[in-house]
Amino acid sequence: MKRYEALLALDTRGKEDTAKETIERLEKVLAAEGAKIEQVQRLEKRELAYESKHTKSAYYVNFIFEADPATIDKLQKKLKLDEDILLQNYLQLPAKKNPATA
């Protein structure tokens, strides 16, 4: 298991009130694929650097989780089909330091 960070830009046009439900649904999707979520950071709505799917702003959410490397490919393919997700980016993080060995 390796640690990853997933930054997702959500399309909330016309449904700003449903961002919380969308994030909870995405947490369940990650868990269903075998990811162990450590932290969820809700980064609020921000302007996109460039327009994507005729959208100028998106609600950003950042997931930090542990998963097998093969899980990332599955998540990318599955979430690419999700209409609520404009952009997704994954980054492998360094292993968590054990305080007992530090």
Q: How many domains does the chain have?
A: 1
pTM for this entry: 0.85
User: Is residue 102 in a domain?
Assistant: no
How far apart, in whole angstroms, are the C-alpha atoms of residue 1 and residue 34?
A: 10
- 7 Cβ neighbours under 8 A, 6+ residues apart: 60, 61, 62, 88, 89, 90, 91
Which CATH number goes with the domain that contains 61? 3.30.70.60
What residue numbers bound the domain in which 76 lies? 2-36+45-93
Share of the chain above pLDDT 90, in %: 62
- Quote the pLDDT of residue 52: 75
Give the tens place of pLDDT for each residue, 61-76. Answer: 999 999 999 999 999 9
